[in-house]
Amino acid sequence: MKTIIEPFKIKSVEPIFITTVEERVQIIKDAFYNPFLIPAEKVLIDLLTDSGTSAMSSSQWAGMMIGDESYAGSPSFFRFENTVKDLTNMPFIIPTHQGRAAEKILFSVLGAKGKMVVSNTLFDTTRANVEASGAIGVDLLCPEGKLPNVPSDFKGNLDIEAFKSLIDKNGADNIAICILTVTNNSGGGQPVSMQNIIDVKNICKLNGISFFLDACRFAENCYFIKLREKKYADSSVEQIAKEMFSYADGCTMSAKKDAFANMGGFLALHNEDLSNKCKNLLILTEGFTTYGGLSGRDLEAIAIGLKEVLQEDYLKYRINSIEYLTNKLIKENIPVMQPAGGHAVYLDAKQFLSHIPIEQFPGQVLVTALFIEGGIRAVEIGSLMFGKYDSMNQLIPAQMELVRLAIPRRVYTQSHIDYVAEVIIEVYKKRDALKGLVITSEQPVLRHFTAKLAPVS
Ligand code: F0G
């Protein structure tokens, strides 16, 4: 069968609001050409993020009704803890209100000040927490991961040779921890192979470096391993996931992604001493150890979601649907990150709008055009998000100018996906008429969230 069907049916629906082009021109102007400033009700298809935006299943909603809100020792916590223990085989499970809270706690107690934290690519909140602790984040993505238009199976892999020479040059004592992001969100949602995970683990073990996973999208990564790494073709995704976690000393997790929860996260660890330190900080900032900033009903939703995400019919549909959208764009010669990632489509705005100089933010221009054309909200991952200024106040551009269209889990149907493709293709046809943007107001850090922009005159 060619048609991709959703392996679920719809029990409860939410309206989305249809607007006209004229209305959207005004809406984006009122939002200062920044999608973060658009009220969500004015968005037709919201692809700003796949985080916390999942549709929960009827089982998850039923689980919420049996959520127990006891301050200490809630049965919901034990159901959550058992599920995470079963998946990761790690004995110490610490709930947090979302992924970045797990990161904050881990890096605060790790004592990595002045040392390096190595990754394939640190996600921005992870990097911010690493840097806030006084440690230095070092991204060692494999060379193919940096080429948007060149397809390769595991573009999220860490560059093993670069890791070895970093250790030779700086000494293992100066590297506190290595954390692999699976899939690699900031690098196009590309997967990491099991072989790479094993190789990284072995180097870490040999050198006494802790090895962690940023496991937000672990199931999507494991499905790619099943599809692309021969040895795993006959393994279940659950077996693959368990093997993957078996190599790690610990993991951070945002349950807002592959656990289909609207809120939540956790830290899972093997080391009791580290766990005790983390729990102390947890109590200070998040809550008691059996709820950690979450309600009992959230813990139930996460426990159920972590099992549902391993269902292979779901993962097949999820990965196929994103690949389908990517391939439709490739067929029209639209520059897009290849191959398709696990949770999003990434347009290469530098090529898409090659007539717009980087100083005029081609990625943001494309985001604006997608909204005006079809009410689609995407996000720029380029020089608005990551650009810095030199001493002469000139822009130091980001490595790539991408636009991410992240697909919320189980929320939109294949006809929504077809519509998204049509809108992108239409914008591509009209691209020569698009003009640049300039910043009129910005904050010194994380400016993309609040920056105001205007069309160049
Ligand atoms: N790690 C990765 C790889 C992520 O993608 C995110 C969040 C986090 C950590 C932090 O988790 O939001 O629960 O605190 N990514 C979202 C996104 C925000 O849109 O990609 P959080």
pLDDT in tens, 247-306: 999 999 999 999 999 999 999 999 999 999 999 999 999 999 999 999 999 999 999 999
Q: Please report, for the chain, the start and end positions of each structural domain, with discontinuous segments joined by +.
A: 21-50+311-455, 58-308
Ligand 1 center to residue 315 CA distance, Å?
20
Ligand 1 center to residue 254 CA distance, Å?
6
| Residue 113: predicted pLDDT | 95
Whether residue 124 has pLDDT greater than 90: no
Q: Which residue has the tokens 């519509």?
A: 419
- C-alpha distances (whole Å) from 214 to each of 37, 80, 123, 245, 257 are 29, 19, 9, 11, 12
- Mean pLDDT across 323-333: 97
* Beta carbons within 10 angstroms of residue 232's beta carbon: 19
The helix or strand, by DSSP H or E, that contains position 46, with its residue range, turns out to be strand 45-46
- The reported pTM is 0.96
Average pLDDT, the chain: 96
Contact indicator for 27, 50 with CB cutoff of 8 Å: no
| Residue 149: predicted pLDDT | 86
| Residue 445: predicted pLDDT | 77
Contact indicator for 247, 197 with CB cutoff of 8 Å: yes
String of DSSP letters for 116-169: EEEES---HHHHHHHHHTT-EEEE-B-GGGG-TTS--TTTT-B-HHHHHHHHHH
3 state DSSP class of 55: coil
* Mutation choice for ligand 1 from 100, 252, 377, 379, CB with most ligand atoms inside 8 A: 100
pLDDT in tens, 56-90: 999 999 999 999 999 999 999 999 999 999 999 99
Separation between Cα atoms, residue 104 and residue 132, nearest integer Å: 9
Triad 208, 244, 86: Cα angle to 5°: 105
pLDDT in tens, 133-157: 999 999 999 999 988 889 999 999 9
pLDDT in tens, 171-212: 999 999 999 999 999 889 999 999 999 999 999 999 999 999
Whose Cα sits closest to atom 21 in ligand 1?
Answer: 99
- Is domain 58-308 in CATH 3.40.640.10, yes or no? yes
| Residue 457: predicted pLDDT | 87
Separation between Cα atoms, residue 361 and residue 350, nearest integer Å: 9
| Residue 160: predicted pLDDT | 98
Task: Enumerate residues lining ligand 1, CB below 6 A.
Answer: 49, 51, 98-100, 123, 125-126, 181, 185, 214, 216, 254, 256, 265
* Mutation choice for ligand 1 from 46, 48, 50, 51, CB with most ligand atoms inside 8 A: 51
Separation between Cα atoms, residue 246 and residue 268, nearest integer Å: 12
- Mean pLDDT across 21-47: 98
Whether residue 1 has pLDDT greater than 80: no
Whose Cα sits closest to atom 9 in ligand 1?
Answer: 99
Superfamily of domain 21-50+311-455: Aspartate Aminotransferase, domain 1 (3.90.1150.10)
Q: Phi/psi at 274 (nearest 5 deg)? A: -60, -40
pLDDT band at residue 116 under the 50/70/90 scheme:
very high
pLDDT in tens, 422-451: 999 999 999 999 999 999 999 887 889 999
Pairing of strands 379-381, 402-406: antiparallel
